[in-house]
Structure 1
Amino acid sequence: MAFIPIIEGYLKKENYQPINLSAERLVKLKLNASAIEDLQTYLTFQQEKFRHQILYGGYLEKPNLYDGNALFSVDETRNIHLGVDFWKQAGTGIYCPKEAEIVVSYDHSERGNYGEH
């Protein structure tokens, strides 16, 4: 599959840096996923380290970010991430690779939820 840039100003594949937030990786880093402030500190450090790149990741990872959160354990515990996350400052432009329409947008501001969209 061909690379398609989606973040304004980051047009080359080399501008995108994968980041692993799987439970296994966080254990190796000695990071507690439920300590949101610690996780944010780690992400901020990574953003500084790769400041000319977009951090991305998540698809099919088995994170423990949702452990202990009732939002993600209704019938069974959710442990596979089904999206791709990108980290960049608020207000950065996003390109849509195909013609599309936003159907729903939410601000999930509860702790442990998906955040602002």
Structure 2
Amino acid sequence: MNNSFEELLRTLPKCFLLEASIPKRDYVFLDLSKSNKTLRTIDVSSSETLAVYINSHIKANNTKVAFGGFLETRNIYQRSNYFNNRNPETERNIHLGLDLWAAAETPIFTPFDAEVHSFKNNTNFGDYGPTIILKHIIEDIEFHTLYGHLSLASIEHLKVGQEFKKGDQIGTLGDAIINGDYPPHLHFQIIKDMEDYVGDYPGVCSKQDLEFYIGNCPDPNLLLHLD
């Protein structure tokens, strides 16, 4: 990754994707990696069962939002042929964004001034569902942020090139019916080079492609400061 880009991210003030009034103590880390032995006892292929597990975790910690997932190797994607080709080297199971697990219809806000790069309803099983990609330019450095698993209403009246100011609401979280069949959550990802993608960008990669994506998609927590 261009060092100047990562250094820029480190110098920016803490950003908010959900309501800024939610204090840091109301966020709890959630481990959905294949090394989490508890997940071996539940059916992670069921969005309903996974939702019970996640909501119980949030409630048990007396919080409002669960977060995590950057560079986690997850078994959850094995349910979908879109990700899983049964080859350990090329199977896409390494998560490249940060997830914020919260209720459907939770408002989502842009962390920076932005314009809409593209948007799309990615309807493959286990995919993003409605997705918005924003373009930002800060200190002459252009980069993008991706917001996956939104509601259909979030993209119904959107236009490419539409401008948002920092803190503007850009959409709301979708439910399992529309968001790729997951419990409601936001997939947030930083992308330096969009390559030729429009309305979509890989949010999960294989082991053999990891080095490239680590270089192009830095840790979202550089902006959110949740750890």
TM interval, shorter chain, is 0.7 to 0.9
The percent of aligned pairs where both chains have the same amino acid is 29
Distance across 2 between alignment mates of 1:23 and 1:31: 12
How much has 1:51 moved relative to structure 2?
Answer: 5.2
Q: Which has the higher contact order (CA 8 A, sep 6+)?
A: 1
Q: 1:89: which partner in 2?
A: 103
2:74 partner letter:
P
Candidates 16, 27, 32, aligned match of 2:43: 32
Q: Greater strand percent: which structure?
A: 2
Distance across 1 between alignment mates of 2:46 and 2:104: 22
TM-score scaled by length of structure 2: 0.44
Candidates 76, 86, 94, aligned match of 1:65: 76
TM-score scaled by length of structure 1: 0.76
Distance across 2 between alignment mates of 1:67 and 1:88: 23
Report the count of equivalent residues.
116
Q: 1:107: which partner in 2?
A: 121
How much has 1:47 moved relative to structure 2?
Answer: 3.2
- Unaligned regions of 5+ residues in structure 2, if any? 1-9, 130-148, 151-227
**2:94 counterpart of 1:80:** yes
**2:29 counterpart of 1:18:** yes
- Unaligned regions of 5+ residues in structure 1, if any? none
RMSD: 2.6
- Which structure: larger Rg? 2
